[in-house]
């Protein structure tokens, strides 16, 4: 199976777009949770192919976007104090309150862009006289590898390695969005890759409590239009259930080994979401027995207060209350080169995705 | 004394001092390798005779790693500047060559790079006619930087200018995109992944000359989408011409392995650097013939017409996606960074 070409098939995608147009008789607001899905919708021009009454609302599932500003400042502080900071690529351009990690690197900081946190453990081994910190951001998708790096460091007695944890979880965020009194969301496209790790179990209670359809969906054009169609069929019938469009990847039980690994290293904690605020029990922190690998504890940097730009409406964007182009700053004071808030930063953020791929098509 | 027996395993500060060590390095490596009547004068510069219009282009090469799949910084420095001169509709004949070497570079690597430069220059039909070698202290450079400046006579039939582009003109690309950038990316520290993707670095001057011989002034523009990729070049052109561009995603040549690597790293192939392809803008009436000729040429068997200029949506590049949707293509902002997921 050619996963790249077959799920980008013109005829098959058109078939679902036609079905969506025929089936949707009312106006439906559907939120795709994951930034990767937002990226896919906008990059392939799917939003403009949907009928007017099917509205996609872009959710908070972009790890770069929801990582709190003060955590970026903490990573920069570490970098400026001679620590080797390792990070995923798109985190490094995000401006902190004064500068980005990339700017701190230009000033002499030793910043490494990596794909795997295990590589950071290797860097720690190769630099025994230096401290090495991995900036552990992301959802349930990146948490297993980050947990593995801690287990690996412990096993190999690498004591100069630690992680700056900013792990957040999807279901509490969905609940936070649904609890907002301005929420207009009728259905969710569940985040396919998150469910590949976590399985489907934790979404049933949400479906029941909020009586809302959730369709776990993939990222290719055909996945997205099929997921949207499945949600609309439920909505039109007045049903609400959990469905799995992405069954070629997502299994009911998820990835059991990855879950075990996360559970052994992390425990549930309250977490601050950039643009949204603190959501109870919405993220991970390291368990007590692993605090030696917790950068905030190790370096005593747990209290940096960092205010957000007051004109930014990121919270309303991330909750789907407003669309990026409805912001007065969008494309003017706020651009990817000079982002005022989180969703303009990463290409998966709703504002940046609109700016890069469709802003002029939509606003003109 | 042979070129491999200068008595040093590495380049050191003395090789840039201007004294005997510099002379040894020049005599036994540079002059011996490039051996031509211009360099053999051993003067501060060279004198060339020119009649007609002359195109000049300069470029500095700082790529890391300096050796990569499909090439090294040396041939890149030749091909990059040769192609820039060719993009002016000119026939490159001469190159200057300046090195900034960080002390400690293995002599073997330096010789390997010089040999690649010689080979690439011969292949492209250009001569190295003047140059410079500086050595900087360890930590003040990154192994080796190279600057080349190219000179070439403008083709008598050429009339290359973005001013000539009009609505309806076709955009043709000479080969698959993103090869060079992904070859480099696959070998960067921390991002290594196994692939057989090779840089596409090559000289394009003969292909340009063949096209100008046949189509002359009906070819409105050549541009090589190096750093910033195809997206950046097209955004610039839309801006400069005050016209819009319609692109067809299905027509953009892209190797499966490069496409897969871009997917994994979360990179858009349209933003990734190229070193061995160009974009040409031609009148609609000759587009099919241009593609036909290019497909027969060894440098461009996968040439493809990828879009056209339009008076609709001025200054905007709009991609018609594989599944029939539309999206804006914007220029690259800063360095392209891999996405988290």
Cβ contact B328–A93 (<8 Å): no
Which residues sit opposite A164 in a β-bridge?
Answer: A135
Confidence at residue A338, expressed as pLDDT on a 0 to 100 scale: 81
**In contact, B170 and B252? CB cutoff 8 Å:** no
Query: Structure pTM?
Result: 0.88
Which whole-number Å values give the CA distances from B31 to A48, A286, B16, B23, B124, in the listed order?
62, 63, 16, 10, 19
**Minimal Cβ distance to B341: which of A86, A119, A193:** A193
Q: Where in chain B is the domain with CATH 3.90.650.10?
A: 162-329
Predicted confidence at residue A186, as pLDDT, reads 97
Confidence (pLDDT) at B190: 64
Structure token digits, residue A320: 């789907």
3-state secondary structure of A267: strand
Whether the ipTM is more than 0.90: the answer is: no
Nearest beta carbon to residue B339 from set A13, A90, A358: A90
The C-alpha angle B145, B150, B152, rounded to 5 degrees, equals 170
- What are the extents of the domains in chain A? 3-63+171-244
Q: What residue ranges of chain A have pLDDT lower than 50?
A: 1, 359-360, 362-364
- CATH architecture of the region B162-329: Alpha-Beta Complex (3.90)
Put simply, the answer to whether A347 touches B339 (Cβ < 8 Å) is yes
Distances, alpha carbon B309 to alpha carbons B248, B314, B316, in Å:
12, 9, 10
* A3-63+171-244: in CATH 3.40.50.11750: yes
Residue whose pair of structure tokens reads 């009928």 in the numeric block: A51
Extended beta strands in B25-126, E state:
54-61, 67-68, 71-72, 90-102
In eight-state DSSP terms, residue A354 is I
Write phi, then psi, for B64 (nearest 5 degrees).
Answer: -135, 125
Is A63 close to B341, i.e. CB distance below 8 A?
yes
Q: Where in chain B is the domain with CATH 3.30.1330.10?
A: 13-154
Kindly give, in sequence order, each residue whose CB lies less than 8 Å from that of residue B68, ignoring residues fewer than 6 positions away: B183, B184, B187, B199
The SS3 of residue B284 is helix
B69: left (phi over 0), alpha (psi -120 to 50) or beta: beta
Encode chain B (341 residues) as per-residue pLDDT tens digits: 566 667 889 999 999 888 889 999 999 999 999 999 999 888 889 999 888 899 999 999 999 999 999 999 999 999 999 999 999 999 999 999 999 999 999 999 999 999 999 999 999 999 999 999 999 999 999 999 999 999 999 999 999 999 999 999 999 999 999 999 999 888 876 666 777 899 999 999 999 999 999 999 999 999 999 989 999 999 999 999 999 999 999 999 999 999 988 988 888 999 999 999 999 999 999 999 999 999 999 999 999 999 999 999 999 999 999 898 998 898 877 777 666 54
Question: CB distance from A90 to chain B under 8 Å?
Answer: yes
Q: What is the pLDDT of residue A358?
A: 62
Distance from CA of A6 to the nearest CA of B (A): 11
Start-to-end Cα distance in chain A? 40
Span B13-154 CATH architecture:
2-Layer Sandwich (3.30)
């Amino acid at each position: 199976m050619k996963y790249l070409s077959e799920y980008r098939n013109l005829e098959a995608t058109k078939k679902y777009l036609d079905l969506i147009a025929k089936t949707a008789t009312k106006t439906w607001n559907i939120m795709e949770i994951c930034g990767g899905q937002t990226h896919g919708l906008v990059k392939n021009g799917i939003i403009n192919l949907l009928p007017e009454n099917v509205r996609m609302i872009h959710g908070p599932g972009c790890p770069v976007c929801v990582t709190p500003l003060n955590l970026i400042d903490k990573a920069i502080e570490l970098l400026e104090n001679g620590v080797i900071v390792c990070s995923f690529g798109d985190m490094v351009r995000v401006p902190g309150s004064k500068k980005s990690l990339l700017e701190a690197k230009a000033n002499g900081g030793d910043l490494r862009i990596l794909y795997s946190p295990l590589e950071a453990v290797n860097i720690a081994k190769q630099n025994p006289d230096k401290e090495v910190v991995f900036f552990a951001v992301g959802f349930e998708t990146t948490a297993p590898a980050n947990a593995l790096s801690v287990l690996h460091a412990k096993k190999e007695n690498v004591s100069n390695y630690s992680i700056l944890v900013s792990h957040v979880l999807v279901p509490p965020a969905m609940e936070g969005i649904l609890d907002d009194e301005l929420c207009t969301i009728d259905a969710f496209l569940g985040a396919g890759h998150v469910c590949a790790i976590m399985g489907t179990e934790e979404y049933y209670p949400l479906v029941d409590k909020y009586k809302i359809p959730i369709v776990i969906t993939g990222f290719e054009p055909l996945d997205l239009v099929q997921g949207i169609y499945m949600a609309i069929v439920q909505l039109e019938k007045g049903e609400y259930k959990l469905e799995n469009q992405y069954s070629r990847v997502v299994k009911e039980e998820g990835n059991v080994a990855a879950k075990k690994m996360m559970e052994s290293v992390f425990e549930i904690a309250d977490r601050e979401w950039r643009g949204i605020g603190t959501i109870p029990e919405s993220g991970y922190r390291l368990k007590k027995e692993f605090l030696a690998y917790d950068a905030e504890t190790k370096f005593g940097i747990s209290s940096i207060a960092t205010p957000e730009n007051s004109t930014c409406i990121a919270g309303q964007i991330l909750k789907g209350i407003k669309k990026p182009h409805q912001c007065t700053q969008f494309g003017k004071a706020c651009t990817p080169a000079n982002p005022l808030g989180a969703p303009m930063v990463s290409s998966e953020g709703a504002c940046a995705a609109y700016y890069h791929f469709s802003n002029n098509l939509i606003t003109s | 004394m042979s070129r491999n027996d200068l008595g040093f395993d590495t380049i050191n500060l003395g090789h840039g001092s201007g004294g005997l060590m510099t002379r040894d390095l020049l005599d036994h490596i540079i002059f011996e390798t490039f051996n031509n009547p211009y360099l053999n004068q051993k003067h501060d510069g060279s004198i060339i005779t020119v009649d007609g219009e002359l195109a000049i282009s300069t470029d500095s090469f700082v790529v890391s790693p300096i050796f990569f799949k499909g090439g090294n910084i040396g041939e890149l420095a030749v091909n990059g500047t040769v192609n820039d001169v060719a993009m002016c509709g000119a026939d490159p004949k001469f190159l200057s060559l300046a090195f900034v070497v960080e002390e400690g570079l293995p002599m073997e690597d330096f010789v390997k790079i010089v040999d690649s430069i010689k080979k690439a220059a011969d292949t492209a039909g250009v001569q190295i006619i003047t140059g410079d070698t500086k050595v900087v202290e360890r930590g003040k450079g990154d192994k080796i930087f190279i600057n080349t400046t190219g000179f070439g006579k403008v083709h008598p039939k050429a009339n290359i200018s973005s001013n000539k582009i009009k609505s309806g003109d076709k955009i043709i690309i000479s080969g698959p995109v993103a090869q060079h950038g992904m070859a480099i990316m696959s070998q960067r520290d921390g991002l290594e992944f196994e692939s057989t993707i090779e840089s596409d670095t090559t000289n394009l001057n003969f292909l340009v000359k063949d096209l100008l011989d046949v189509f002359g002034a009906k070819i409105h523009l050549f541009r090589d989408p190096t750093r910033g990729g195809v997206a950046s070049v097209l955004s610039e052109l839309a801006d400069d011409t005050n016209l819009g561009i319609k692109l067809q995603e299905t027509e953009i040549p892209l190797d499966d392995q490069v496409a897969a690597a871009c997917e994994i790293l979360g990179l858009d192939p349209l933003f990734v650097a190229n070193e061995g392809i160009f974009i040409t803008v031609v009148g609609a009436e000759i587009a099919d013939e241009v593609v036909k000729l290019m497909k027969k040429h060894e440098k461009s068997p996968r040439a493809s017409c990828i879009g056209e200029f339009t008076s609709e949506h001025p200054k905007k590049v709009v991609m018609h996606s594989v599944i029939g949707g539309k999206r804006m293509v914007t220029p690259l902002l800063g360095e392209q960074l891999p996405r988290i997921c």
